[in-house]
A and B are shown apart, each in its own frame.
Chain A
Amino acid sequence: MQPVLDNIALFGRAGLDKVEAVGRSGMILINAIVARPDPVQSFPLLIRQLYSVGVLSMIIIIVSGLFIGMVLALQGYTILVDYGTEQAVGQMVALSLVRELAPVVAALLFAGRAGSALTAEIGLMKATEQLSSMEMIGVDPLRRIIAPRFWAGFISLPILTMIFSAVGVWGAMLVGVEWLGVYEGSFWANMQNSVDFFDDVVNGLIKAQVFGLVVTWVAVFQGYDALPTSEGISQATTKTVVYSSLAILGLDFIMTALMFGDF
């Protein structure tokens, strides 16, 4: 009887740990950004984080946006040309990019490129006791370390998503118009007729904003909460990528249903 009870208790403890972790991550987020904002002093820190989180992610975003746009145009063309409607390729690429692919793929890349780096950086600071030293000299690590990193990710991802969409559409135009010879006028006209600024572009931006919140939140929490060992940091980095990818895909379904589902 005893081993059975032990196992059930173990199960319960795991559940409690998870709930506690969620609560802790919420407390960290609130303590870092809501309770004690200090815009003047933390602005230079924010700029530096925007550089390492946003600017340095631009290359991977631009390259993948370009290739995804080009592939979409190529695939769409080969199917649409059978029905003689190849000028709809612009519409197809723009809608799928702006609504779905740009927010999701940019967020997944961002989680891999910037989220994991944030976690590793904060985790290593914890392991080498830089965070505790800050507390010793009276500097709040939440405000000094976590807050600027969080805001940088939150601001960067929507910008990166916009860049992704624009570059993707340009890539589609390169393949569709320049290479495959779709008539340029109908390429753009079809696109402009079907893409609505508020329904499509702004909704995509809202998605990107939510993903930015989730990815950076997961990243800074996993770093701050990592076990201060080399193994702990590697686990935390893995968790960042896995959890934020799953959260992105799950939230994307929910938001798509809310934004574009007719019910």
Chain B
Amino acid sequence: MRIRGVELAVGVFMLVGALSLAVLAINVSGLGLSKQEGSYKVYALFENVGGLTARSKVSMSGVTIGQVGAIRIDPERLMAVVEIEMNGDVDYLTVDSSASILTAGLLGEKYIGITTGADDEVLTEGGYIEDTQSSLVLEELIGKFLFNKASE
């Protein structure tokens, strides 16, 4: 009986450990149990992605609908190509949708905001979002402001 109590306690110990790992995985690091099935990739060209990183959010009306995959330079057009992994159930983005790089809060992280257009055709795997707006770079903004002030 004594041995059985010990075994029971060790079993509970192991279970609590596994449960904690699950909490850390799902609650704390937000690792989804069901991996997004059938996500598709679209691309967007930006002048400047300043601060956007892989795994940044892609959202529409504030709702997350995908995430940023890879970011690289297009060697021909010399612009940043952002690969966007859209969730599979997002099938309503028209080909004239626009993408802009936005900031969450004053100092928060960068994310991509999508606004749909009015076209009948929808974006599919490998499509390009043509209408893009780059990240706001504070230095450029201040520079413009000073330039305008000076020219007044």
- Report A's interface with B, CB cutoff 8 A: 44, 47-48, 50-51, 54-55, 58, 83, 85, 94, 98, 156, 158-160, 162-163, 165-167, 169, 188, 191-193, 195-197, 200-201
Contacts and interface: CB of A to CB of B under 8 A. Distances in A.
Interface string B102-123: 0001010100000000000000
Contacts of B7: 47
Contacts of A192: 27-30
A166 to B, nearest CB: 4
B6 A85 contact: no
Contacts of B57: 193
B14 A159 contact: yes
Contact of B30 (A162, A163, A169, A193): A193
B137 interface: no
A159 B28 CA distance: 17
Interface of B is mostly: helix
Nearest to A205: B21
Interface in B7-25: 7, 9-10, 12-14, 16-17, 19-21, 23-25
Contact of B24 (A54, A85, A165): A165
B28 A51 contact: no
21 contacts: A47-B10, A50-B13, A51-B9, A54-B13, A55-B13, A85-B105, A85-B107, A94-B28, A98-B29, A156-B13, A159-B16, A162-B21, A165-B20, A166-B20, A166-B28, A169-B24, A192-B30, A195-B29, A197-B31, A201-B21, A201-B29
Contacts of B13: 50-51, 54-55, 58, 156, 159
A156 B27 CA distance: 23
Between A50, A158, A160, the greatest number of chain B beta carbons within 10 A of the residue's beta carbon is seen for A50
B141 interface: no
Contacts of B63: none
Nearest to B6: A51
Contacts, number: 80
Contacts of A201: 21, 24-25, 28-29
B138 interface: no
Interface residues of B, number: 25
A20 B30 CA distance: 48
A195 B20 contact: no
B113 to A, nearest CB: 16
Contact of A98 (B17, B19, B28): B28
A63 to B, nearest CB: 14
A165 to B, nearest CB: 6
B142 interface: no
Contacts of B31: 197
A192 B55 CA distance: 12
